Amino acid sequence: MSDLHPTLAGAFQTVLDRNPGEAEFHQAVREVLDSLNPVVAKNPEYADQSIIQRLCEPERQLMFRVPWTDDEGGVRINRGFRVEFNSALGPYKGGLRFHPTVNLGIVKFLGFEQIFKNSLTGLPIGGGKGGSDFDPKGLSDGEVMRFCQSLMTELYRHIGEYTDVPAGDIGVGGREIGYLFGQYKRITNRYESGVLTGKGLAYGGSQVRTEATGFGTVFFTREMLATKGLRISGRRVIISGSGNVAIYAAEKAQELGAQVVACSDSGGYIVDEDGLDIALLRQIKEKERGRVSDYAEQRPNATFHAEGSVWDVPCEVALPCATQNELDDDHARSLVENGVLAVAEGANMPCTPKAVEVLANAGVLFGPGKAANAGGVATSALEMQQNASRDSWHFDHTEQRLDQIMVDVHARCAEAAETYGQPGNYVAGANIASFIKVADAMLSMGVI
Ligand code: GLU
């Protein structure tokens, strides 16, 4: 952590005072502000117009009751959230997360990150995030449907293709988006395709959206390695998580010739020295909603480990694709000792600030989530484009668009890092490049 410019220090103190106990939100804000000293010093109008203070205060925060009935007839209550953080660049855009750990602070951290991630894509989307403390694990499709319908019965009045466009995140995939879209359509009596992204291909979804976050993380990693004259082909890769992001990161890494040998879930991790069988992993995780331990039972050379950490598995490329703060400084030291070359965040803020410091000090290439996992939301913006023009693109074309977007995101980060005297520092580059675009848009619009 650096000493902050007085304007940044003041803004940070206000965040601490106004949002007590929201540790993840504080962490996300601090990480961005830590990069902005040279920007504020060079551009005094950002301080004069209180741009930083305004950026740290969401434009709107919604919190509401979500009652639903379980299969036994019992009435259950969850809490729904939507934080509409910043609309300087476009309608609020960001996913919904369904997980028992969701609270207002988590949604704010994710919404804050989303502003900068979305800016980096170069596409016209603002930042927002939402979700619920609902736990879909072990529930029937009918229960998940009733919950989604109840959530949308409140959420519909706040969203719209020009207002706020939710999508998926942890616990929200194709099934949930389908139920949510169906209820929105029913309440509003409008076929407003662009109100949600991550839709099914049968009703306005985009090719590559399911794969996009994982694919994009690997494209970003490829670009980082290329700056050192290195290739991903032949490299040993480990991935945490086994959800949507992890599965498609593994698939693309393998397609580019890497050897992906490990992944995980909340119960432990698996090592498969033969290289992960992605079709089997998908079958277990997506169709059967099973665990990685089930995978190990079905593969002759795979082992399951309930103890220890996936980050102890030696590798050259590590892709944390599970959840926030899953990779700490001890894990980072273990990766460095084992010779890791590059780490790219497929999840949002999976590395702790201390872990990032350890990796940076060891000269490891590090791609922060707001750059490395921007491919998901970027492809959501491509879905919005297709919906607005009532069009639907082929897989290859859409993947090429995604690839080019990730090349551009990488270039924006590298260029800003260079301009502000920190070549190779993708954290600084991502924060600076994305901030300048949002701040300039806000300045143009006056005091709003
Ligand atoms: N939840 C994803 C993210 O963290 C995707 C959001 C979206 O597609 O709107 O970026």
- 27 CA to centre of ligand 1 in angstroms: 19
For a pocket test of ligand 1, which of 84, 114, 209 has the largest count of ligand atoms closer than 8 A to its C-beta?
114
**255, burial (CB in 10 Å: exposed 0-12, middle 13-18, buried 19+):** exposed
H helix runs in 5-103, sequence order: 6-18, 23-35, 37-42, 44-48, 51-56
Among residues 42, 43, 32, the alpha carbon closest in space to that of 4 is found at 32
Q: Are the folds of 61-111+128-192 and 212-372 the same?
A: yes
DSSP letters along 207-237, please? TTHHHHHHHHHHHHHHHHHHTTT--STT-EE
Nearest ligand 1 atom to the CA of 118 is 10
What's the fold here for domain 212-372? Rossmann fold (3.40.50)
- 432 CA to centre of ligand 1 in angstroms: 21
Contact 270, 304 (CB under 8 A): yes
Q: For residue 290, give both structure tokens.
A: 């099973």
Q: Which residues are catalytic?
A: 129
Provide the angle, in degrees to the nearest 10, between the axes of the packed helices 6-18 and 23-35.
170
CATH among 3.40.50.2300, 3.40.50.10860, 3.40.50.150, 3.40.50.970 for 61-111+128-192 = 3.40.50.10860
Among residues 383, 378, 326, the alpha carbon closest in space to that of 355 is found at 326
67 has which bridge partners? 77
Nearest ligand 1 atom to the CA of 379 is 8
Confidence (pTM): 0.97
Q: What's the chain's length in residues?
A: 448
In the chain, where the domains are located:
6-56, 61-111+128-192, 212-372
Shortest-distance Cα residue to atom 5 of ligand 1: 377
Shortest-distance Cα residue to atom 8 of ligand 1: 377
H helix runs in 58-156, sequence order: 104-120, 141-155
- 176 CA to centre of ligand 1 in angstroms: 14
Q: Say how far apart CA 8 and CA 107 lie, in whole Å.
A: 22
pLDDT in tens, the chain (448 residues): 568 999 999 999 999 999 999 999 999 999 999 999 999 999 999 988 899 999 999 999 999 999 999 999 999 999 999 999 999 999 999 999 999 999 999 999 999 999 999 999 999 999 999 999 999 999 999 999 999 999 999 999 999 999 999 999 999 999 999 999 999 999 999 999 999 999 999 999 999 999 999 999 999 999 999 999 999 999 999 999 999 999 999 999 999 999 999 999 999 999 999 999 999 999 999 888 899 999 999 998 999 999 999 999 999 999 999 999 999 999 999 999 999 999 999 999 999 999 999 999 999 999 999 999 999 999 999 999 999 999 999 999 999 999 999 999 999 999 999 999 999 999 999 999 999 999 999 999 999 9
Shortest-distance Cα residue to atom 9 of ligand 1: 94
Contact residues of ligand 1, CB 6 A cut-off: 93-95, 117, 167, 169, 197, 348, 376-377, 380
Nearest ligand 1 atom to the CA of 377 is 8
- 200 CA to centre of ligand 1 in angstroms: 16
- 324 CA to centre of ligand 1 in angstroms: 14
Contact 132, 151 (CB under 8 A): yes
Map residue 133 onto helix, strand or coil.
coil
Alpha-carbon distances of 62 from 77, 88, 131, 342, rounded to whole Å = 16, 19, 11, 38
Q: For residue 298, give both structure tokens.
A: 């079905």
Among residues 124, 155, 142, the alpha carbon closest in space to that of 60 is found at 155
